[in-house]
Chains A and B, each alone.
Chain A
């Protein structure tokens, strides 16, 4: 363009004084950060969101409180003879259920980002591609820890006495968080392919409800009909509950632990690449 443009000519007169011009003419191009730094920046964003929208922690904290109280006092006597005895059995299970349900938020948040256009801003940046998702998952583990802390604290108040002590409880929570991190890769797939955040929520719950209820979370499967027992035995949630229960109770076996770790590794190995493939091709 050789011709003068009235607009740009008029503006050039005011260039020196304008703070906008100064801010816009930045020459520096910093070095591109590595995968870890980038993911941590996104994890930090997830934490900021918890800080600004504490409401999202309500169901994370209220659900376990309601479930624990309801099951302990309503059914505890009938199921285990006494509420106190039942609580020892129930609490690790409730903990697992609470954290697994919290994983749904990962897909929900991701889908919200997509529908609001935030996600495309990130995709337009020259960053390590998996970082927005990996970072969000990292940030979500903080949510899992908060949910766990609430559940365990309530349990202790009601009379839950873990045989594994402090270390056992911490190890149990750690095991659960690792598994939840792996499982949330499955929900990121839903987050990427579904149309609305609420659809993600609904579908995820439809998957999680049978998984958590048809398991050994609430009752000993030996009282169930044979066909249901068969299902409960293959339900991965049952294996997770057994391992967490064992860890917190101080009776965990190596094979129980190994099962959870292998399951977590397999979930990540299967779902993370699928998530990333969909993420890359989302166009």
Chain B
């Protein structure tokens, strides 16, 4: 059990005064994989990670990181984990370089070692030029990179990332994703919390959906999405006259009912759950062209977290058994 599972939590509970922030969470992260903890604000994601990272003491339940108990062997856990998030930040008044050097010194690097390790990290995170500036002057993306670099001063075996891309522009978001992928390729186990399904989808091997302090679904991204539906197609034709023809083609190719929206030139359809549905959706464009329909807009949307959520929470009371199947 010890090293197959980098992180293993059983029945974690944490109360804050009257609210149950975390209410019996079970989690397993196999070594070398990424687990995405997906849920809306206030679902208990951050509280869960704080307990795993030894910052909060659980009211009940146990958790082990690389075999070390997070309460009884907190120091051993701290030695091997890295932490990045809203709650584990760097000092804005100091420069990026000073921040990293401080952390390197705290890990026990000598002055010269700390300097060279800092230079190496600044270089790697593309912050070499900004290293001498106060962190408060950094852009959102730079800020996230220095936070990441701060948790990489020693190469951690397990990295906790709490909403690593919330509030970032798409480019910075891509950079953070790239860093996470490199880490994982290098063997680091990652537990990441996010509010975005696409982020979990991009990075995670498995996803746990959490709401009101409870895990309400668990599975691979594909399993999870299948439980909700693959997504939606939305289409707009150039000439409203063609809409009826387009609707007919979409209904035939996708095999799902078509919804005619308020706009006279638009329609929408749900993409069915079967495996070749994406291929059929892609084949729509030539089919529409063959039918003489000029398409103005064509987009395929993934189910949003809202949709996954609605679907999962909607099922929760009625079809608990089905959910357990997804979980297993």
Contact = CB atoms under 8 A, between A and B. Distances in A.
A125 to B, nearest CB: 5
A15 B205 contact: no
B117 to A, nearest CB: 8
Nearest to A9: B185
Contacts of A25: 155, 186
A268 to B, nearest CB: 24
A52 B33 contact: no
A26 B93 CA distance: 28
B106 A26 contact: no
Interface in B144-175: 150, 152, 154-155
B30 interface: yes
Contacts of A11: 181-182, 184-185
Contact of A8 (B86, B105, B184): B184
A206 interface: no
Contacts of A226: none
Interface residues of B, number: 58
B186 to A, nearest CB: 6
Contacts of A126: 75-76, 78-79, 107
A23 B120 contact: yes
Contact of A30 (B87, B89, B109): B109
A161 interface: no
B198 interface: no
Contacts of B86: 117
Interface in B90-125: 90-95, 98, 102-103, 105-110, 113, 117, 120-121, 123-125
B57 A283 contact: yes
Contact of B108 (A32, A117, A123, A283): A32
Nearest to B102: A45
A108 B83 CA distance: 25
Contact of B105 (A19, A26, A33): A33
A121 B88 contact: yes
Contact of A124 (B53, B95, B121, B124): B53
Nearest to B30: A1
A21 interface: yes
A121 B83 contact: yes
A125 B185 contact: no
Contacts of A19: 120, 123-124
A5 B205 contact: yes
Contacts of B32: 1
A279 B76 CA distance: 19
Given A26-B155, A53-B93, A117-B87, A125 B203 contact: no
A124 B79 CA distance: 9
A283 B182 contact: no
Q: Could you say which of A32, A41, A125 has the most chain B C-beta atoms within 10 Å of its C-beta?
A: A125
B81 interface: yes
Interface residues of A, number: 49
B124 A23 contact: yes
B108 A1 contact: no
Nearest to B76: A126
Interface string B175-216: 000010111111010000000000000110100000000000
A37 B102 CA distance: 11
Interface of chain A, helix or strand or loop or mixed? Answer: helix
Given A117-B89, A124-B54, A52 B83 contact: no
A53 B94 CA distance: 9
B81 A124 contact: yes
Contacts of A15: 182, 185-186
Contacts of B295: none
A12 B185 contact: yes
A20 B184 CA distance: 12
B182 A124 contact: no
A120 B84 CA distance: 10
B55 A120 contact: yes
A1 B33 contact: yes
Contacts of B102: 41-42, 44-45
Contact of A45 (B83, B94, B152): B94
Contact of A27 (B53, B117, B155): B155
A274 interface: no
B134 interface: yes
A27 B86 CA distance: 27
Contacts of A49: 91, 93-94
Interface string A21-63: 1111111111111000110011011001100110000000000
Contact of B134 (A52, A122, A125): A52
B140 to A, nearest CB: 15
A131 B102 CA distance: 13
Given A44-B102, A53-B93, A118-B90, A30 B55 contact: no
A33 B106 contact: yes
B291 interface: no
Interface of A: 1, 5, 7-8, 10-12, 15, 18-33, 37-38, 41-42, 44-45, 48-49, 52-53, 113, 116-118, 120-127, 131, 281, 283
The 6 closest A-B pairs by CB, nearest first: A23-B124, A117-B89, A30-B108, A126-B78, A11-B185, A20-B124
Given A25-B155, A44-B102, A281-B57, 16 more contacts: A7-B202, A19-B124, A20-B179, A22-B120, A23-B120, A23-B121, A24-B182, A25-B186, A28-B154, A29-B79, A30-B108, A32-B108, A41-B106, A121-B150, A126-B75, A283-B56
